[in-house]
Amino acid sequence: MGWLRNTVARDTAWVGAFQGAVVLVSLASNAILARQLGPDVLGGYQYLVSWVAVAAVFGLPGMNVSITRACLKDYDAFFWWAFRRSVVVSAIGTFVVAAVGSVLLLLDGGMGGAATACLLVAAGIPAVGLQGFDSALVGKRDFRSSRLLSLFGAVLVLVLTAVAAVTTHSAAWTFGGYVLGRGVVAVVGLRVAALKLRRQDRDSGRERDLAAQGWRQTGLNGFFIAASQFDRLLLGTLSPPLLAYYHIGLLIPQRMATNSKVLLGVLTAHWGAAEPRHNLEALRTHGWKLFAGGALVAAAVAAFLPWIVPLVFGTDFEPAIPLGQLYSVNLVLGFWQATYMGYEQFQYNGAFAQKVQLVRQVSFFVLAAALIVPFQAYGLIAAHVGANVLQFVLSYRKYLQRIRAANAQ
């Protein structure tokens, strides 16, 4: 296992360095937008971005886990199978959303708010059909290309959205820069992935198994994505400035959680290439480090937010500070949770991971609906914390069952 540890260390260091750069670029981008647009316009821009996040279901995001799993096991042909279907479905989604926008445009007799939003969101859908390239690169364990493309995308979106915000102070034009940046990165990423993947004959048995996992995950993701954006869409409808505070407050802890998952993806990919028993043993041996790391990061984020928010985003966004501090609690359990979900996805058919994600999203939706009226943004963050704790409890219980089964063999 010495070679594995050395490889993991090298890949982790490389990913960590580039992921840190991505975080800094993302913070710079949000800082520019916050200072140039202000709470009202920034809230409108984030409202459009949230709708694009929901529309990402047309890109069949559930196939990404199957793509990574297939590439980890040296079956590259599955990427092209999933890619073709993703492009077709995203094209259909673009047509449907654009048609709705056109109907609203005719009914309103002009570019009303709903019509404009639909047409803008439709323009952002095609790029989501090309996003599977990163999952393929991770599956090939080409973390350098994956993170270079991520950094390239972050810088490009920063430049395009900043230019639009500075020159127009418009949510619509800034969103246009965001869409253009994502589209360019998707095309470049697809080209890079195509150079890494081998042309293979199709294996119908493996394809059916991977497709079944991907379609299940895609079906669930439709609900997952809608539920995950429920808070932002509701806040954006009620009050764009409140959505802006919520976005800035959660920006740093959410970026830490997301980028930590990318970093931990090095571990899950390397461990996922090993046999299930060896993967479980690695998780069992190093699990305490994941808990400790999560706690340290959560404490650091909560401590630095009162300094970072006014300095980076401006004093207008100080109401976002306590929101971010409360949300940071999720980081304590998040590192272990992300790693264990990788184990379930890559070593098995992903059924348990899909079930527990469904439970998590349903519980969040219920808690959010119950807490948003009396507590507004604080209620939504409490719903996040409660749903994540429930997900951890269910996952840890399954983890103990896996250990007992492995010991019994």
At which residue do the structure tokens 């090993």 appear? 274
In this prediction the pTM is 0.75
Give the per-residue pLDDT at 3: 41
User: What whole-number percentage of the chain has pLDDT above 70?
Assistant: 90
Q: Is 173 exposed, middle or buried (0-12, 13-18, 19+ CB in 10 A)?
A: middle
Who has greater pLDDT, 283 or 311? 311
Band of pLDDT at residue 1, cut at 50, 70 and 90? very low
Q: Report the C-alpha dihedral over residues 175, 176, 180, 183, rounded to 10 degrees.
A: 60
Rounded to the nearest 5 degrees, what angle is found at the Cα of 352, between the Cα atoms of 81 and 63? 15
The span from the CA of 118 to the CA of 114, in Å, is 6
Rounded to the nearest 5 degrees, what angle is found at the Cα of 63, between the Cα atoms of 65 and 362? 80
Band of pLDDT at residue 269, cut at 50, 70 and 90? low
- Report, as an integer, the average pLDDT of 371-384: 90
- Report, as an integer, the average pLDDT of 24-46: 91
pLDDT in tens, 203-234: 778 888 888 888 887 877 777 777 778 788 88
- Across the chain, what does the average pLDDT equal? 84
Q: What is the DSSP string of 309-330?
A: IIIII-GGGGGGHHHHHHHGGG
The CB-side HSE value for 250 (13 A sphere, CA atoms) comes to 20
For residue 63, pLDDT over 70 is answered with yes
User: Which amino acid is present at 337?
Assistant: Q
